[in-house]
């Protein structure tokens, strides 16, 4: 805010050029240094082309609709699977569509007619049959069912329909929504697409035959490159030039560029911003999906995760080009691909940092993060923000009344339940309690201060791994160990949160997501820390009383061994959740909470009122990291170990979904969020009572998230609150009922 500025030659506009230049020089030096490194760099071109294509798709979206699409990688992956299903099996898979007849069938089953069956909506539409002969040996030697061109044409048609659906069903209704709602919707899309693929194809990799001709092409100095990678690079270059020309020379492109600055600009040129957004959604979906189709065979296989996670380097490339220049986006994408490939090669060298005897993993994933941080830190706020009017507000953060009695009643009731219910339910209650803690951390950071974080589970993991590797390894006893872990989470959270002082909104979401990917790969996947099996966590004990998840326990009545899991661990979780919930309620009711909401509402006005905007944000990052850290320690105790997969970037994303779905700006919302986490109480209701497969819960969470982003930013808890208010108002209008008796009934909504 003061008059300081960077030295005159380092203007924000020059930074991409500067970074690109430095990268170029480094690459050139390496290229001329020796041939095997040159080969590695060249082999990175294929991956780079895919990164570039996803980055182009992100840029197109941003230009067209102001959405930074976290699902762009998932769309590419989805496209790859559509093609795979058609080409190999001759089947077009459908996303799960609710069957209106299902409830009737369910009722019939409940009534005892278990053989009663009504028509089902098909899962696959079979368009061609696989070739004869080798089907018995599985897909590996199966003849393709459909010619390449047919599969390709149908896949592209599906992608067009998907793009239209994304626009009309999700992002058009959100065009006036705050950034948080748009990010949440794209996260929801990410979750839905991945869940659909896992449901239809399982999460194991499928082998795919090449589309582009693949034979080695030889270059001077013994360098060679498979021709399919070369074609991929050529195609991405052609697409980039096409996009550049389209945006440069056509009225449509001009209008989109105008709209990305100010939506009125497009209207002046005779285009509705809505139309432009729709066209760009279709274009970006087809672009990402098309390259997903072309690129999958380069790795000889396709799985639901690899391409999806290319969103991180792609975001780095798009950010480097300020979501603006297609040429820079493409160059950055190719560059990152080549650098990643080079790092993979040199990681075998003796000088490369080692961990546990083998090369330090995760550096390739850290690279995009470093690029993102450097670009954002240098460029600060100069990233263009879209000139559209936000008319939908962030969810309201209520000041709760009667939180203490409500917490006590709910807490004691939960403790009582823990000793009564069957082990399955006990486990799901504990899972929900752990989830509530993570959701509470998001209430503070995202709900109160409006800072979007996609790294809370990674911070939880920091605490979990610290508990395992530092506290347990050094025999640090129970209450200190988890607190130490939470402190470590605070340190990392503050380190990653400091860029938040310079970036806001969707850029912060990008930074935190990249941070989560980096932490996951650099620290959690580090073999000296965890490896594949994870790091063990000793069960907690106090004064010799062990109350870990799997410690034996004695029944309260009648004696004898009780069934595991140990309910005393659940009691411990309840106490932790109660303490944290009350603390977060108190934050909202005290000075710091008012300052947080002031910062969320209006940073300039908050500063003018003497509020330290950066101080408030730093405090919120610290508090949220601490709470997340406690959650990480709890889940470490709950599983007896900590693993990289559980605490990674995607879980962080999914937890934002749960927290938002529950209601991100209230403690009661965090409680609801905990109930709906995977493996939590709602999952058990689904699987045990409604007999809905567990895999569907994630899909439902994703769909619920999108609906919630569009319909009701207050979340489930907010909807309940509104409902109670409405009932109360109606009752008051009648004026006949005294309020004294009714106040004690709806306890949970008062939190």
Partner 1 sequence: MGMLTTSGLSVSFGGKRAVDSFDLDVKAGSLVGLIGPNGAGKTTTIDAITGFVPAQGSVLFDGTDISGLSSTMRARTGLGRTWQSSELFDDLTVMENLQVASERVDVRGFLRDLFRPRNDDVSELMVILESLDLADSADVLPTDLSHGQRKLVGVARALAAKPKVLCMDEPAAGLDTEESQTLGGRIRALVDGGLSVLLIDHDMGLVLTICDYLYVLDFGQLIAEGTPAEIRANSKVITAYLGERHGGGSDPTGDDGAPVDGAPVGEVGVGE
CB of 670 to partner 1, least distance (A): 16
Q: Are 362 and 521 in contact (CB under 8 A)?
A: yes
Q: Is 454 or 597 the residue whose CB approaches partner 1 more closely? A: 597
Pairwise CA distance, residues 309 & 294, whole Å: 17
| Interhelix angle 423-442/667-676, nearest 10 degrees | 140
HSE value, Cβ hemisphere, 13 Å, CA-based, for 432: 25
Q: Is 23 or 444 the residue whose CB approaches partner 1 more closely? A: 444
Pairwise CA distance, residues 459 & 485, whole Å: 10
Q: Is 255 or 623 the residue whose CB approaches partner 1 more closely? A: 623
Closest to 598 (Cα-Cα) out of 448, 745, 725, 738:
448
Q: Is 450 or 631 the residue whose CB approaches partner 1 more closely? A: 450
Q: Is 215 or 591 the residue whose CB approaches partner 1 more closely? A: 591
CB of 615 to partner 1, least distance (A): 8
Pairwise CA distance, residues 522 & 499, whole Å: 19
Q: Are 304 and 77 in contact (CB under 8 A)?
A: yes
The secondary structure of residue 643, as a DSSP letter, is: -
Q: Is 595 or 638 the residue whose CB approaches partner 1 more closely? A: 595
Q: Is 112 or 610 the residue whose CB approaches partner 1 more closely? A: 610
HSE value, Cβ hemisphere, 13 Å, CA-based, for 512: 33
Q: Are 416 and 617 in contact (CB under 8 A)?
A: no
Q: Are 413 and 554 in contact (CB under 8 A)?
A: no
CB of 381 to partner 1, least distance (A): 12
Pairwise CA distance, residues 416 & 567, whole Å: 10
Q: Are 226 and 212 in contact (CB under 8 A)?
A: no
Q: Is 180 or 517 the residue whose CB approaches partner 1 more closely? A: 180
550-554: list long-range contacts, CB under 8 Å, 24+ apart: 550/640
Q: Is 186 or 665 the residue whose CB approaches partner 1 more closely? A: 665
Pairwise CA distance, residues 459 & 361, whole Å: 19
Q: Is 264 or 393 the residue whose CB approaches partner 1 more closely? A: 393
Q: Is 25 or 408 the residue whose CB approaches partner 1 more closely? A: 408
Compute CA distances 288 → 78, 203, 318, whole Å: 9, 21, 14
Q: Is 352 or 396 the residue whose CB approaches partner 1 more closely? A: 396
3-state secondary structure of 525: coil
Q: Which residues, including other chains, have CB under 8 Å from residue 232's CB and lie 6 or more apart?
A: 45, 46, 49, 50, 212, 291, 294, 295, 298
Q: Is 559 or 610 the residue whose CB approaches partner 1 more closely? A: 610
Compute CA distances 276 → 107, 272, 356, 633, whole Å: 47, 7, 53, 48
Pairwise CA distance, residues 441 & 622, whole Å: 10
Pairwise CA distance, residues 217 & 470, whole Å: 51
Torsion of Cα atoms, 617 then 619 then 623 then 625, to 10°: 60
CB of 617 to partner 1, least distance (A): 12
Compute CA distances 263 → 175, 248, 255, 653, whole Å: 11, 18, 9, 30
Q: Which residues, including other chains, have CB under 8 Å from residue 717's CB and lie 6 or more apart?
A: 662, 663, 666, 668, 669, 671, 672, 749
The CA angle 529-534-536, to the nearest 5 degrees, is 90
Closest to 63 (Cα-Cα) out of 283, 334, 250, 377:
283
DSSP string, 284-316: HHHHHHHHHHHHGGGGTEE-TTTTGGGHHHHHH
Q: Is 595 or 721 the residue whose CB approaches partner 1 more closely? A: 595
Q: Are 293 and 157 in contact (CB under 8 A)?
A: no
Compute CA distances 337 → 48, 134, 289, 325, 359, whole Å: 4, 37, 19, 18, 19
Q: Is 43 or 587 the residue whose CB approaches partner 1 more closely? A: 587
Q: Is 375 or 587 the residue whose CB approaches partner 1 more closely? A: 587
CB of 583 to partner 1, least distance (A): 5
HSE value, Cβ hemisphere, 13 Å, CA-based, for 415: 16
DSSP string, 158-198: HHHHHHHHIIIIIITTTTTS-HHHHHHHHHHHHHHHHHHHH
Q: Is 608 or 733 the residue whose CB approaches partner 1 more closely? A: 608
Closest to 710 (Cα-Cα) out of 188, 261, 47, 281:
188
Q: Is 52 or 606 the residue whose CB approaches partner 1 more closely? A: 606
Q: Are 391 and 176 in contact (CB under 8 A)?
A: yes
Q: Are 344 and 39 in contact (CB under 8 A)?
A: no
CB of 388 to partner 1, least distance (A): 17
Using CB under 8 A as the criterion, which residues of the chain lie in contact with partner 1 when the complex forms? 1-5, 393-394, 396-397, 583, 586-587, 589-592, 594-595, 597-598, 600-602, 604-613, 615-616, 619
CB of 394 to partner 1, least distance (A): 8
């Amino acid at each position: 805010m003061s008059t300081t500025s960077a030295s005159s030659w380092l203007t924000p506009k020059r930074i991409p050029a500067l970074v690109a230049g430095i990268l170029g020089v480094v690459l050139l030096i390496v290229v001329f240094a020796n041939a095997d490194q040159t080969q590695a760099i060249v082999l990175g071109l294929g991956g780079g082309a895919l990164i570039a294509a996803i980055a182009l798709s992100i840029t197109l979206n941003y230009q067209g609709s102001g959405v930074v699409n976290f699902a762009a990688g998932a769309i590419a992956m989805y496209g790859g699977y559509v093609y795979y299903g058609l080409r190999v099996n001759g089947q077009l898979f459908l996303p799960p569509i609710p069957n209106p007849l299902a409830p009737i069938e369910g009722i019939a089953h409940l009534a005892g007619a278990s053989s009663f069956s009504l028509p089902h909506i098909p899962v696959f539409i079979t368009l061609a049959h696989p070739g004869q002969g080798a089907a018995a040996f599985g897909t590996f030697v199966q003849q393709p069912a459909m010619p390449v061109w047919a599969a390709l044409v149908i896949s592209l048609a599906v992608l067009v329909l998907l793009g239209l659906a994304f626009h009309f069903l999700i992002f058009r209704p959100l065009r006036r929504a705050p950034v948080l709602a748009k990010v949440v919707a794209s996260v929801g899309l990410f979750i839905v697409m991945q869940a659909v693929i896992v449901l239809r194809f399982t999460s194991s990799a499928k082998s795919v035959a090449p589309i582009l001709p693949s034979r080695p092409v030889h270059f001077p100095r013994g360098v060679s490159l498979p021709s399919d990678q070369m074609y991929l690079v050529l195609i991405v270059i052609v697409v980039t030039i096409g996009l550049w020309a389209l945006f440069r020379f056509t009225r449509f492109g001009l209008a989109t560029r105008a709209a990305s600055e100010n939506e009125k600009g497009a209207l002046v040129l005779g285009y509705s911003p809505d139309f432009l957004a729709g066209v760009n959604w279709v274009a970006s979906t087809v672009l990402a999906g098309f390259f997903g189709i072309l690129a999958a065979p380069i790795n000889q296989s396709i799985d639901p995760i690899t391409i999806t996670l290319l969103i991180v380097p792609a975001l780095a490339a798009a950010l480097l080009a300020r979501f603006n220049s297609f040429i820079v986006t493409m160059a950055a994408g190719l560059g990152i691909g080549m650098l990643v490939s080079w790092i993979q090669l040199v990681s075998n060298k003796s000088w490369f940092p080692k961990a546990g005897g083998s090369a330090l993993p995760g550096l390739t994933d850290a690279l995009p993060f470093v690029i993102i941080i450097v670009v954002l830190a240098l460029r600060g706020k100069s990233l263009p923000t879209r000139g559209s009017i936000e008319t939908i507000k962030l969810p309201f953060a209520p000041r709760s009344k009667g939180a203490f009695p409500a917490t006590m009643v709910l807490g004691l009731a939960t403790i009582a339940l823990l000793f009564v219910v069957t082990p399955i339910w006990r486990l799901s209650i504990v899972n929900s309690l752990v989830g509530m803690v993570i959701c509470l951390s998001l209430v503070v950071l995202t709900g109160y201060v409006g800072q979007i974080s996609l790294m809370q589970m990674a911070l939880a993991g920091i605490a979990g791994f610290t508990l395992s590797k530092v506290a347990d390894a050094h025999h640090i006893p129970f209450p200190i160990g988890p607190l130490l872990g939470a402190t470590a989470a605070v340190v990392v959270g503050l380190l990653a949160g400091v860029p938040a002082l310079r970036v806001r909104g969707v850029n912060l979401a990008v930074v935190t997501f990249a941070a989560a990917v980096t932490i996951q790969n650099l620290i959690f996947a580090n073999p000296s820390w965890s490896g594949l099996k994870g790091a063990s966590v000793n069960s907690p004990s106090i004064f010799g009383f062990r109350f870990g998840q799997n410690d034996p326990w004695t029944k309260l009545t009648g004696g004898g061994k009780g069934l595991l899991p140990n309910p005393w661990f659940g009691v411990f979780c309840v106490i932790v959740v109660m303490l944290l919930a009350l603390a977060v309620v108190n934050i909202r009711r005290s000075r710091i909470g008012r300052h947080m909401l002031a910062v969320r509402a209006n940073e300039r006005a908050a500063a003018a009122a003497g509020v330290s905007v950066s101080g408030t944000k730093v405090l919120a990052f610290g508090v949220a990291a601490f709470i997340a850290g406690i959650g990480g320690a709890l889940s470490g105790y709950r599983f007896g170990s900590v693993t990289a997969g559980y605490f990674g970037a995607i879980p962080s994303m999914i937890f934002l979904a749960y927290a938002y779905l529950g209601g991100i700006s209230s403690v009661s919302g965090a409680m609801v969020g905990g109930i709906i986490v995977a493996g939590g109480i709602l999952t058990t209701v689904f699987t045990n009572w409604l007999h809905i497969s567990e895999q569907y819960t994630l899909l439902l969470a994703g769909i619920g998230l999108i609906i919630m982003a569009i319909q009701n930013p207050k979340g489930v808890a907010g909807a309940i609150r509104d409902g109670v208010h409405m009932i109360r108002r109606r009752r008051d209008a009648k004026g006949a009922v005294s309020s004294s008796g009714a106040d004690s009934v709806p306890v949970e909504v008062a939190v």
